């Protein structure tokens, strides 16, 4: 009998309105997000969190006063644990959650995993496409925190995993079938943007997003009119594009409807429930887009949970990182 710990990583989100500012402070204090020396970065993080607090609170209030990300991740963890337990009946399997910027944070989760005393630890980020701003930051925080037992195995990315691609293709097809409007429609794959300078420094995120979209469009196999675009731009620096809002406006000018798939988000949170569902839907109406349909995040779709289980087993079969 082997003891297996799987750690799911995500960014986290405030669990109440009072947590919004400390969440933002944690986010912008990360050198992977705000690339400046600590004497500059930490005061800047405090200032940014104060400036963005009111708007962020309004957005979280709109979705009930808290981020749903932890709840959704807990559901994914339960589904994954059930699948892995069924696949590995001789093992004791536990799934843990480590959030980067709000509870449960990496340090207490690392202590919980150490108490479990695993033989193997699989580090499984819930970021399908690798970026230094997400996967690398989460794994670095884990390495600093974990002092327990077990061979450690890392999953880097799974942007082209067949089950991940199938999950998205099926989600798009289902949203299309359930849509009231089925006229001429453009599929927009919307991913969270990152600064262009990060990509120029060698970050593979944009390339992996584009390859995910190519694979999903190929799996759909209907000759879809589709585009890749990026949302959630903040600050004065240049970000990768095109911007999702610009593509929505373009669709309005072309007289086509929009079906939008959040290709880099595996759970619902403020970027999907507020930005896509409220702000971008309003922009689509103002642009004259005849129909606007948003594909749900993958959540606990069986194909996605199967993807996570397969990634876990592939990682275990590979050489441990430590």
CB 134 within 8 A of CB 44: no
* CATH for the 162-294 domain, from 3.40.50.150, 3.40.50.1400, 3.80.30.20, 3.90.550.40: 3.40.50.1400
Average pLDDT along the chain: 96
Q: How do residues 103-158 score in pLDDT, each as one tens digit? A: 999 999 999 999 999 999 999 999 999 999 999 999 999 999 999 999 999 999 99
Query: What number of CA atoms fall less than 13 Å from residue 30's CA on the CB side?
Result: 21
Long-range contacts of 105-108 (CB under 8 A, 24+ apart): 105/12, 106/138, 106/141, 106/142, 106/145, 107/145
**Separation of alpha carbons 116 and 93, rounded Å:** 10
Q: How do residues 248-290 score in pLDDT, each as one tens digit? A: 999 999 999 999 999 999 999 999 999 999 999 999 999 999 9
Phi, psi of 244 (to 5 degrees): -60, -40
pLDDT for residue 319: 85
pLDDT for residue 132: 97
Q: How do residues 77-113 score in pLDDT, each as one tens digit? A: 999 999 999 999 999 999 999 999 999 999 999 999 9
Q: Is 51 exposed, middle or buried (0-12, 13-18, 19+ CB in 10 A)?
A: exposed
DSSP per-residue letters across 51-107: HHHHHHHHHHHHTTSS-SHHHHHHHHHHHHHHHHHHH-TTSEEEEEEEESSSSSBHH
Q: Cα–Cα distances in Å, from 310 out to 84, 103, 166, 314? A: 9, 27, 14, 6
Q: Cα–Cα distances in Å, from 293 out to 175, 256, 289, 301? A: 7, 12, 11, 19
pLDDT for residue 1: 86
**Separation of alpha carbons 88 and 15, rounded Å:** 34
More confident residue, 222 or 314: 314
Q: How do residues 144-196 score in pLDDT, each as one tens digit? A: 999 999 999 999 999 999 999 999 999 999 999 988 777 889 999 999 999 99
**Separation of alpha carbons 12 and 135, rounded Å:** 13
Phi, psi of 254 (to 5 degrees): -85, -5
Q: In the structure, what pLDDT confidence band is assigned to residue 223 with cuts at 50, 70 and 90?
A: confident
CB 190 within 8 A of CB 230: yes
So where are the chain's domains? Answer: 17-62, 162-294
Say what the alpha-carbon torsion angle 68, 72, 73, 78 is, to the nearest 10 degrees: 150
**Separation of alpha carbons 262 and 231, rounded Å:** 10
As a whole number, mean pLDDT of residues 25-32 equals 94
pLDDT for residue 282: 98
Sheet containing 3-10: order of strands: 92-99, 3-10, 120-125, 151-154
First to last CA, the chain: 21
**Separation of alpha carbons 184 and 187, rounded Å:** 10
């Amino acid at each position: 009998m082997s003891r297996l710990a799987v750690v799911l990583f995500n960014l986290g989100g405030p669990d109440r309105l009072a947590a919004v500012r400390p969440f933002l402070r944690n986010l912008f204090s990360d050198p992977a997000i705000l690339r400046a020396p600590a004497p500059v970065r930490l005061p800047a993080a405090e200032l940014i969190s104060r400036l963005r607090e009111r708007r962020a609170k309004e957005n979280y209030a709109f979705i009930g006063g808290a981020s749903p990300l932890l709840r959704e991740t807990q559901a994914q963890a339960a589904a994954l644990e059930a699948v892995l337990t069924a696949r590995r009946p001789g093992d004791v399997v536990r799934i843990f959650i480590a959030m980067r910027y709000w509870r449960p944070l990496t340090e207490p989760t690392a202590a919980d995993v150490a108490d479990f005393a695993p033989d193997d630890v699989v580090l499984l980020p819930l970021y399908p496409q690798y970026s230094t701003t997400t996967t690398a930051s989460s794994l670095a925080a884990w390495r600093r925190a974990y002092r327990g037992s077990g061979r450690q195995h890392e999953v880097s990315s799974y942007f082209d995993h067949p089950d991940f691609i199938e999950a998205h293709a099926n989600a798009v097809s289902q949203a299309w079938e359930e849509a009231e409007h089925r006229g001429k429609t453009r599929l927009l794959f919307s991913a969270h943007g990152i600064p262009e300078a990060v990509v120029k420094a060698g970050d593979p995120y944009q390339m992996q997003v584009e390859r995910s979209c190519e694979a999903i469009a190929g799996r759909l196999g209907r000759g879809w009119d589709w585009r890749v675009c990026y949302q959630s731009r903040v600050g004065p620096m240049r970000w990768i594009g095109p911007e999702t809002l610009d593509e929505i406006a373009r669709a309005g000018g072309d007289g086509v409807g929009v079906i939008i798939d959040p290709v880099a988000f595996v759970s619902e949170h403020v970027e999907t429930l507020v930005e896509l569902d409220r702000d971008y839907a309003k922009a689509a109406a103002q642009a004259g887009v005849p129909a606007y349909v948003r594909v749900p995040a993958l959540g606990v779709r069986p194909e996605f949970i199967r993807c996570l289980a397969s990634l876990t087993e592939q990682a275990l079969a590979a050489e441990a990182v430590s």
